[in-house]
Structure 1
């Protein structure tokens, strides 16, 4: 790879230096924050020799390079002053900023919301099968376990919003608790010597005022927008208080005044105003949906997976939660099921038709991930979008299924991940039989259309997806200036090579790793480990060729390259919670310490600590096998077969 040429071509492809607000480098990719996204040519960047893929997510234009990203980034610093001087990251445009804001707040909550929603869906199915089960204490306990996260949503939002807005987290929790308090704890005299909540007192005709100003009481259970805006107000108030309160009183005075100001202001203005806005938005969508639910279902079903590509799908969460809190169900959300299942069906068809072993390996697990669990990123990025036609066929199938579900007037009663497992979340709403039919039609049609139109293309060969050779001659430039093919000298392999587990924990299939690029297999084959400890050790004897606090590239003496990447997006931690034990050029033996980190601190910071191990250069080995289950550090993990 000619690093200077790649750097120049990438910079040209993203719109030139003047279009780069800032760019960061992690272990495998360049993360651009662009001034004007329309000036970047994604298709052109993807064709640059040395670029593996381009992913747009969270307001970032991410160019995946692989192990040589450090060298390309170094050249980029030479040719672009903006890169060398740094900048101010962040997506441009109000819409992009709002999408990034909502995503950053809701992403850490998605899995617990999905798990709790699935539990409620299973309980609903159980009551339909056995109505007496709904009156049992067992049902009540399990329902409390599933429903609590929704009822006390402000508590969870306080944590993620405080991180996003850089507010004091403990004070944020106190503010959220005060809002919930108004609907849960009795403080006002009630009938027959009892006490009742402020909300119940207000609903019963009582006059609630603060310093003589009337208060319109709303319920803050399930409140999404009011809580988020309240924490934002806190984040703006705290710096002002810190500037005016003397140091000796600051630790006590800042939270005291923040609570005394933000809570009343929220009850007086923020809560009623944002609740009205949220209700208006939800009612508006319901009104449009009622005008033509079939057309609405077709549009949502056809385009939902497109929003995933642009990282906008989490932006729907506040709307769905608002609909669930006001109506008990979301018909709009019901149309999300067909596009998810259609992608799973299309991916399964590719699995059956393709002869490409690498694509088949990704497609097999990705189809299960989409159909059963509702996680479509591995299917989309690893399979259907790479071939393009299967993605289009799945969108067509999703639109048809969405139209059927729109006609059913059925939708989930909880925020779940749309999947085969969570179809029960819509039991008892509208025409449930028609809901099931729309979901089934989407999955089957996605499968059949893809099976009928599929055309094989070799996507995993070097000609289709450039790879970084471990041992190569210097490439000669072609007449067009691009790098020519590289001659790689590799030995004939006769024995397997074992790559050991770098950390103790539970194995996660690569397709299930929560990173679109890793999961697609574009960088290399391997798997992830959910770490049980914080010591990450060398999986092979090698030389360290890349050393970042969160990621380590290793090269064996015979050219095999292995990437150990600790956590997803942990580059944003800038080394916090990581204590590296090696530097570039260090020789390591299997089991030598690479880095010591704090998995819980990484989780608390809002990041997934799953440790991904990828073989990025096989140097003559044919395939990579993976162990499953629980492993201890040093156990056999990956096996490179001759």
Structure 2
């Protein structure tokens, strides 16, 4: 079992890669990722962070530098707080992000919205998912007749699993209060009035009025949007009162006035308007699923994992929760099992066929967590996405499975992470049979499509195609020993062992098989992490970065997987000569100090592109 101490070296290396603790503005975490806010992005090397052992991947998305750890991210976060200078950078879920000047960090509207939703729901999403699983299980045992719905036992279980959802406004009041800088107890007092039994008793009653003004009462149990908007508005009122009220009465008059103003304001305006808007949104989504269910289900099944990758799923979660609260079910959630199963099936195919222990180490537990818990980040970032084809296969399979689930009119009647455990939540609405068929069709298709595509591409497992620890010539020409390369940085060996070649043509190829981890915009340099464990820099010419890409045609992109001899770039050697630069191309093994047994072959004079120049000997 993992412990906090296991992540000490990892988190220290991550902080260093991101420019040190002084370059970190703040950090928090979600289900699988450490989320950093960085002061100066130029000082942060996100690619280097992604290469650290134990890190599944690292990406810059949604205005954050996100380091994916997996299910043990809480332990990694605890270890991160022990890194010198980092404890003060940790922010609690829901706290607002403030820059060094005291103002909110500048972001576009989409990033701000995603941050807001994440802050409101991420602290309670695990409780929602876990207790929702209990609610779905209760539905299952009552549907098959194990438990009588009229019994007191059922009533007690129902209270256990429905309490969180019924009183959800209280939980949202807490997270919204943190986000909007409102006193938590004032926020809870507003919600307490809305959920008071007296208020609930007047829902639907005729002749209700307040201060002689007619009032149509609505139920706020399980509500989402009215509470969030109410606490947001209450924040402005609270801060204004704290400025204008005398100190002698401020502490007790502020909560009194906020409640006196906000409760009627919600009853007359915020509540009806936001509930109408939420109902309209739900009706629109329902209309789409009812009129073209195959399209709606297919889109959700195919693109859900893309939404998760970019954090856009946070914008949909409130809609799902609101649908369940207001109408008792959510169409949007049913195709998500297919989305998860498609990626699980693809990862399973890779896990079975690969001989690489590193991939197996990530894929095995990742498949389990995806299938049983609906958490797919480990297999997405650690297996499917780096290999590309499995991710595409999973998305296609998820889309097809989503079409079937959509046609069946399936929906979730509880908020549960989409997984095999969530089928109980799909018993009440639509065709349960088509939900099962769609979900397991996605699982099978994800597996089969991955196998078929990999076989056709002859690229099933990068490590199976060429695991020979060799470094080959990156261009045809005259061999130059490392010490004779006309650049002191290279010739000194400071960047690692290697060699140079004076090219006879402009076709630059990959000296190893692996993944491109760096591609300079100028086209003069390429970093490759070899599948054989050798990391190589191909640097075309001396000081050719000053040409700003003139005469260089880039044929690959960062993240691509390349084979030995695959073209990386075409270079106009005449343009290099006319610009006055030396065309000597350096091939440097940047991790040579960590490799034992790396030896040169008997190479001198002319070499051809693809000729073995360095070999790992036992």
Which of residues 124, 143, 150 is equivalent to 1:128?
Answer: 143
> Which segments of 5 or more consecutive residues in structure 1 lack a partner in the other structure?
1-5, 12-21, 74-83, 187-197, 464-475, 488-521, 523-618, 622-642
C-alpha contact 2:168 2:222 (8 A) present in aligned 1: yes
C-alpha contact 1:331 1:411 (8 A) present in aligned 2: yes
TM-superposed CA distance for 1:263, in Å, is 1.2
Q: How does 1:220-619 map to 2 (within 5 A)?
A: 220-454=220-454, 455-458=460-463, 484-485=495-496
Q: Within 2, Cα distance between the matches of 1:178 and 1:477?
A: 74
C-alpha contact 1:175 1:259 (8 A) present in aligned 2: yes
Q: Within 2, Cα distance between the matches of 1:49 and 1:338?
A: 29
TM-superposed CA distance for 1:287, in Å, is 1.3
CA RMSD of the aligned region, Å?
4.1
Q: Within 1, Cα distance between the matches of 2:181 and 2:329?
A: 33
- Determine the structure 2 residue equivalent to 1:110: 125
TM-superposed CA distance for 1:46, in Å, is 3.2
Q: Within 2, Cα distance between the matches of 1:26 and 1:321?
A: 27
TM-superposed CA distance for 1:402, in Å, is 0.3
TM-superposed CA distance for 1:325, in Å, is 2.5
The verdict on how the C-alpha distance between 1:323 and 1:481 changes in structure 2, with shifts beyond 3 A counting, is: farther
- Determine the structure 2 residue equivalent to 1:146: 161
TM-superposed CA distance for 1:86, in Å, is 6.5
- Determine the structure 1 residue equivalent to 2:65: 61
Q: Within 1, Cα distance between the matches of 2:214 and 2:281?
A: 25
C-alpha contact 1:91 1:100 (8 A) present in aligned 2: no
TM-superposed CA distance for 1:481, in Å, is 13
C-alpha contact 2:208 2:216 (8 A) present in aligned 1: no
Q: How does 1:146-185 map to 2 (within 5 A)?
A: 146-181=161-196, 185=197
TM-superposed CA distance for 1:31, in Å, is 3.4
User: Per the alignment, in what secondary structure is the counterpart of residue 202 of structure 2?
Assistant: helix
TM-superposed CA distance for 1:409, in Å, is 0.3
C-alpha contact 1:343 1:446 (8 A) present in aligned 2: yes
Q: Which has the higher contact order (CA 8 A, sep 6+)?
A: 1
Q: Within 1, Cα distance between the matches of 2:262 and 2:229?
A: 10
* 1:31 is aligned to 2:64: no
The verdict on how the C-alpha distance between 1:141 and 1:483 changes in structure 2, with shifts beyond 3 A counting, is: farther
User: Per the alignment, in what secondary structure is the counterpart of residue 134 of structure 1?
Assistant: coil
**Residues 553-572 of structure 1, C-alpha deviation per residue, up to 9 Å, x if partnerless?**
xxxxxxxxxxxxxxxxxxxx
C-alpha contact 2:141 2:147 (8 A) present in aligned 1: no
Q: Within 1, Cα distance between the matches of 2:233 and 2:269?
A: 12
C-alpha contact 2:190 2:263 (8 A) present in aligned 1: yes
The verdict on how the C-alpha distance between 1:10 and 1:324 changes in structure 2, with shifts beyond 3 A counting, is: closer
Q: Within 1, Cα distance between the matches of 2:271 and 2:437?
A: 40
User: Per the alignment, in what secondary structure is the counterpart of residue 55 of structure 1?
Assistant: strand
TM-superposed CA distance for 1:376, in Å, is 1.0
Q: Within 2, Cα distance between the matches of 1:267 and 1:309?
A: 38
Q: Within 2, Cα distance between the matches of 1:64 and 1:343?
A: 17
* 1:46 is aligned to 2:47: yes
TM-superposed CA distance for 1:202, in Å, is 5.2
**Residues 145-181 of structure 1, C-alpha deviation per residue, up to 9 Å, x if partnerless?**
1111111110111111111111111111111111111
C-alpha contact 2:59 2:67 (8 A) present in aligned 1: yes
The verdict on how the C-alpha distance between 1:283 and 1:486 changes in structure 2, with shifts beyond 3 A counting, is: farther
* 1:206 is aligned to 2:207: yes
C-alpha contact 1:208 1:215 (8 A) present in aligned 2: yes
C-alpha contact 1:342 1:442 (8 A) present in aligned 2: yes
Q: Within 2, Cα distance between the matches of 1:389 and 1:87?
A: 45
User: Per the alignment, in what secondary structure is the counterpart of residue 25 of structure 2?
Assistant: strand
User: Per the alignment, in what secondary structure is the counterpart of residue 340 of structure 2?
Assistant: helix
Q: Within 1, Cα distance between the matches of 2:432 and 2:305?
A: 23
Q: Within 1, Cα distance between the matches of 2:142 and 2:427?
A: 10
**Residues 180-221 of structure 1, C-alpha deviation per residue, up to 9 Å, x if partnerless?**
11xxx23xxxxxxxxxxx454352322322x33332311101
The verdict on how the C-alpha distance between 1:34 and 1:295 changes in structure 2, with shifts beyond 3 A counting, is: farther
Q: Within 2, Cα distance between the matches of 1:173 and 1:314?
A: 24
The verdict on how the C-alpha distance between 1:58 and 1:175 changes in structure 2, with shifts beyond 3 A counting, is: farther
TM-score by length of 2: 0.63
Q: Within 1, Cα distance between the matches of 2:334 and 2:195?
A: 29
- Determine the structure 2 residue equivalent to 1:636: none
- Determine the structure 2 residue equivalent to 1:550: none
The verdict on how the C-alpha distance between 1:441 and 1:63 changes in structure 2, with shifts beyond 3 A counting, is: closer
C-alpha contact 1:385 1:391 (8 A) present in aligned 2: yes
The verdict on how the C-alpha distance between 1:23 and 1:145 changes in structure 2, with shifts beyond 3 A counting, is: same
**Residues 64-99 of structure 1, C-alpha deviation per residue, up to 9 Å, x if partnerless?**
99999x99x9xxxxxxxxxx9768553622222111
Q: Within 2, Cα distance between the matches of 1:273 and 1:443?
A: 42
User: Per the alignment, in what secondary structure is the counterpart of residue 220 of structure 2?
Assistant: coil
Q: Within 2, Cα distance between the matches of 1:235 and 1:48?
A: 38
C-alpha contact 1:345 1:371 (8 A) present in aligned 2: no
**Residues 472-497 of structure 1, C-alpha deviation per residue, up to 9 Å, x if partnerless?**
xxxx986699984479xxxxxxxxxx
The verdict on how the C-alpha distance between 1:219 and 1:366 changes in structure 2, with shifts beyond 3 A counting, is: same
Q: Within 2, Cα distance between the matches of 1:392 and 1:10?
A: 30
